[in-house]
């Protein structure tokens, strides 16, 4: 009988015959300080150009790399921060601390629902990881020190990508902000499939065995295994969109498998994180400390 985990992966692997093209890296623009380059093509899929922005630190490098994946219910959001700056999808609060911490960071766009159904967005995140690993050095990045950042739906995509058994997309750390990690957890409250998941999966609100099987297959919680990279989960305990229970349960599953995982709770905070420093003024510095500790180069052995 086919193992359950293998069966789950068969449900989320790319559609056979879909060409995912990886683009070459453009030349780096010279600059004396952190240089931002926008709209770099990292691939093409379904006839669409896949674009990212990159911030290149000043200095010699190589610098650690962060790949940023925005949220927005798999159907909105933008690599520049948000398609509606200042709203709950806005990830621009990541930009300054990562720039100050001397990260080469890459913020990506991906194909969105309902025009593009699952697994288009997941395929694009994987394509972006491969492109960044291949071209990080062009932007002073170190491809052996990569962290994935994702918020909400973007958190779902990076947490799931980190569980794939594929060396070409293996990374060294993951940070999930209010990440969706268990698509079944809040079904009783929603009384069926959420509008966002209806768009993503092209399924009705009413649940059936096939829908439940797909929800389980795309939930990072169900793909936890030993050997995954360290995770940092950050979640507001007043989040009404993605319940904090998802991060608690995901952390417990990771720790049970021997995977390092820290959970940083932001008391009183909701889903969007632009104002989280009002609730926890030092949370950004604690996040950066975790990144530096987790991505620190291994000590050189002496004889």
Q: Is 82 a catalytic residue?
A: no
Q: Is 152 a catalytic residue?
A: yes
Instruction: Copy the structure tokens of residue 278.
Output: 């009002």
Burial of 280 (0-12, 13-18, 19+ CB in 10 A): middle
Active-site residue among 135, 182, 239, 247? 239
Residues 171 and 174: their CA atoms lie apart, in Å, by 8
Q: Is 55 a catalytic residue?
A: no
User: At residue 128, what are phi and psi to the nearest 5 degrees?
Assistant: -65, -40
Residues 272 and 2: their CA atoms lie apart, in Å, by 40
Residues 298 and 268: their CA atoms lie apart, in Å, by 37
Active-site residue among 107, 152, 219, 247? 152
Q: Are 117 and 202 in contact (CB under 8 A)?
A: yes
Active site residues: 152, 239, 271
């Amino acid at each position: 009988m086919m193992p359950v985990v293998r069966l789950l992966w068969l449900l989320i692997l790319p559609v056979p015959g879909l060409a995912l093209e990886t683009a070459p890296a453009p030349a780096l623009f010279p600059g004396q300080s952190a240089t931002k380059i926008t709209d770099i093509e990292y691939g093409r899929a379904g006839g669409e150009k896949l674009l990212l922005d990159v911030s290149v630190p000043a200095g010699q490098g190589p610098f650690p790399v962060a790949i940023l994946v925005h949220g927005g219910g798999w159907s909105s959001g933008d690599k520049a921060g948000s398609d509606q700056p200042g709203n709950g999808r806005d990830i621009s609060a990541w930009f300054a601390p990562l720039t100050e911490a001397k990260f080469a960071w890459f913020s990506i766009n991906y194909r969105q629902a309902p025009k593009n159904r699952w697994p288009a967005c997941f395929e694009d995140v994987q394509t972006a990881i491969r492109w960044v690993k291949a071209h990080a050095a062009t932007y002073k990045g170190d491809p052996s020190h990569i962290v994935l950042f994702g918020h909400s739906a973007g958190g779902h995509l990076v947490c799931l990508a980190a569980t794939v058994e594929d060396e070409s997309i293996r990374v060294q750390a993951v940070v999930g902000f209010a990440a969706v990690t268990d698509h079944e957890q809040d079904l009783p409250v929603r009384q069926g499939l959420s509008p966002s998941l209806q768009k993503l999966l092209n399924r009705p609100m009413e649940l059936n065995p096939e829908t439940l099987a797909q929800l389980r297959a795309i939930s990072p919680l169900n793909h936890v295994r030993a050997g995954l990279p360290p995770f940092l989960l950050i979640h507001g305990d007043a989040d009404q969109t993605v319940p904090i229970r998802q991060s608690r349960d995901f952390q417990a599953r990771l720790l049970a498998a021997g995977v390092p995982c820290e959970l940083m709770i932001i008391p009183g905070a909701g889903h969007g994180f632009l104002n989280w420093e009002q609730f926890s003024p030092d949370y950004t510095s604690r996040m950066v400390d975790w990144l530096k500790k987790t991505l620190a180069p291994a000590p050189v052995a002496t004889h």
